[in-house]
């Protein structure tokens, strides 16, 4: 990134989340309220859970449903050091959580186990009125699926998104291999910059890589007389 003043360009150096005194929980909260930061074009996601616990007491960071009806598990780490210092591989942790979501068959099941408790936790962010958390959750989830014509596709598969300011080579290698074997896992790099008192994020999807064929310009075919 560069800062432009007149005709002069000055390179902006990134900072670390540690330097900003930001914890993983802070990044999680930012993404919870701004999930479009890690959405592809023409993609949307509805956040339905945060710190959801499975039967083995593991906790997933964020849970969402995308516009294709897939349940999306979002796992967050501050930086490469946090990833490398884990006893369990970053991507494997996410796979275990995603496997738990594969057991959810209906929207009713997801709302009861995940979305209704989330609404109850953040009820000041919702216009609940006289509805229960379950009633509001089932209404909002079904409306989201209906608008995106994804009712019949609900949870036909699960997706995983890993987010960090940097990734180690082993994680990227594992995710690349999983992509090649039809596991839908993405890696997003969030690079923080500080300008005066404002913090900016540069968001970059680094895996899976785009199909390079999409960038080629085809030749105009001419018929031969």
Q: What integer is the mean pLDDT of 44-70?
A: 89
What's residue 53's pLDDT? 80
Please, what is the average pLDDT of the chain? 89
In a domain, 214, yes or no: no
What's residue 177's pLDDT? 93
In a domain, 68, yes or no: yes
In a domain, 218, yes or no: no
The confidence band for 12, taking pLDDT boundaries of 50, 70 and 90, is: confident
Asked whether 107 and 138 are in contact (CB, 8 A), the reply is yes
What's residue 97's pLDDT? 87
Q: What percentage of residues in the chain have a pLDDT greater than 70?
A: 92
In a domain, 37, yes or no: yes
pLDDT in tens, 83-138: 888 777 888 888 988 888 999 999 999 999 999 999 999 999 998 889 999 999 99
Give the separation between CA 13 and CA 79, rounded to whole angstroms.
Answer: 16
Which own/partner contact pairs does 16-21 have at CB distance under 8 Å and 24+ positions apart? 16/79, 16/165, 16/192, 17/78, 17/79, 17/165, 17/192, 18/78, 18/79, 20/192, 20/194, 20/199
The confidence band for 222, taking pLDDT boundaries of 50, 70 and 90, is: low
Asked whether 160 and 185 are in contact (CB, 8 A), the reply is yes
In a domain, 25, yes or no: yes
Asked whether 50 and 114 are in contact (CB, 8 A), the reply is no
**Residue bearing the bigger pLDDT, 8 or 22:** 22
In a domain, 219, yes or no: no
Closest CA to 54 of 95, 22, 24, 15: 95
Q: What is the pTM of this model?
A: 0.89
In a domain, 225, yes or no: no
Q: What integer is the mean pLDDT of 157-163?
A: 95
Run of H or E residues at 161 = strand 158-164
pLDDT in tens, 178-212: 999 999 999 999 999 998 889 999 999 999 987 65
Q: What integer is the mean pLDDT of 162-170?
A: 93
Structure tokens at 131: 């509805």
Q: Residue 129: which region, alpha, beta or left (left: phi > 0; alpha: psi -120 to 50)?
A: left
Q: How many domains does the chain have?
A: 1
Q: Does the pLDDT value for residue 223 go beyond 70?
A: no
What's residue 172's pLDDT? 93
Closest CA to 122 of 49, 34, 73, 35: 49
**Residue bearing the bigger pLDDT, 2 or 14:** 14
Q: What percentage of residues in the chain have a pLDDT greater than 90?
A: 67
**Residue bearing the bigger pLDDT, 132 or 58:** 132
Instruction: Provide the domain limits for residue 38.
Output: 2-209
Q: What integer is the mean pLDDT of 30-41?
A: 95
Q: What integer is the mean pLDDT of 136-143?
A: 97
In a domain, 224, yes or no: no
């Amino acid at each position: 990134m560069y800062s432009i003043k007149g005709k002069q360009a000055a390179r902006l150096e990134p900072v670390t989340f540690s330097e900003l005194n930001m914890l993983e929980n802070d990044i999680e909260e930012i993404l919870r309220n701004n999930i479009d930061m890690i959405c592809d074009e023409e993609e949307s996601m509805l956040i339905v859970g945060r710190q959801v616990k499975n039967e083995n007491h593991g906790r997933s960071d964020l849970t969402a449903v995308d516009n294709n009806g897939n349940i999306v598990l979002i796992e967050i780490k501050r930086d490469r050091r946090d990833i490398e210092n884990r006893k369990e591989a970053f991507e494997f942790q996410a796979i275990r959580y995603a496997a738990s979501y594969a057991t959810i068959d209906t929207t009713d099941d997801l709302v009861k186990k995940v979305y209704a408790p989330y609404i109850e936790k953040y009820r000041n962010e919702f216009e609940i009125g006289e509805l229960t958390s379950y009633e509001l959750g089932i209404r909002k989830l079904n409306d989201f699926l209906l608008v995106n014509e994804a009712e019949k596709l609900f949870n036909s598969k699960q997706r995983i998104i890993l987010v960090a300011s940097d990734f180690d080579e082993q994680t990227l290698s594992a995710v690349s291999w999983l992509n090649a074997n039809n596991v839908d896992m993405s890696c997003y790099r969030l690079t923080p910059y500080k300008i005066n008192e404002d913090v900016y994020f540069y968001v970059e999807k680094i895996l899976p890589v785009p199909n390079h064929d999409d960038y080629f310009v085809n030749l105009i075919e001419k018929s031969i007389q």
